[in-house]
């Protein structure tokens, strides 16, 4: 047993290109399952995956040797190819993403938030949700980059 101990957990959010509602109800669960398998293949632990037609949320635990930017790039690349080949030929993810650190004490709260995305978005748009997350996590942003 080594002497390095870490708890790294991230809430990752990204949208479809131009926020197009590509992710249909009839294959959304398959996409989430594919994202989870891809995360495992990249040596991360998918703790929760959810979303709606135009975006996805993931709660993942990852190793200290993993660069989160590389992880998200590979996750998006693999899932974009899979979705285009199996469900929607025009499917693409947006270029950017958002990532928020999650402490062990907040893990269940974030998991519940991700699992209730459909209910959540009956009242709030993706832009409103993202802006709220950015403000809550004290991340400076320019509003024009949220579109």
CA-to-CA separations, 94 to 3, 4, 5, 55, 107, in angstroms, rounded = 39, 35, 34, 9, 26
Domains and CATH numbers, the chain: 1-104 (3.30.70.1290)
Tokens of 144: 């024009």
Q: Could you read off the pLDDT of 26-63 as tens digits, one per residue?
A: 999 999 999 999 999 999 999 999 999 999 999 999 99
Q: Could you read off the pLDDT of 26-36 as tens digits, one per residue?
A: 999 999 999 99
Average predicted confidence (pLDDT) for the chain: 94
pTM over 0.75: yes
Question: Cα dihedral sign for 30, 25, 72, 7?
Answer: negative
């Amino acid at each position: 047993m080594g002497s390095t101990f870490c708890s790294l957990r991230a809430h990752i959010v990204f949208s479809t290109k131009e926020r197009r509602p590509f992710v249909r109800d009839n294959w959304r669960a398959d996409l989430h399952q594919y994202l989870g398998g891809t995360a495992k293949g990249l040596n991360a632990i998918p703790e929760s995956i959810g979303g709606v037609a135009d975006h996805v949320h993931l709660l993942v635990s990852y190793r200290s040797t993993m660069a989160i930017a590389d992880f998200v790039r590979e996750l998006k690349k693999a899932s974009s190819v899979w979705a285009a080949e199996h469900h929607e030929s025009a499917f693409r993810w947006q270029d950017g993403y958002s990532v928020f650190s999650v402490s062990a004490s907040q893990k269940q709260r974030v998991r519940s938030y991700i699992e209730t995305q459909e209910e959540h978005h009956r009242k709030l748009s993706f832009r409103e949700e993202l802006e709220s997350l950015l403000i809550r996590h004290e991340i400076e942003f320019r509003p024009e980059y949220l579109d």
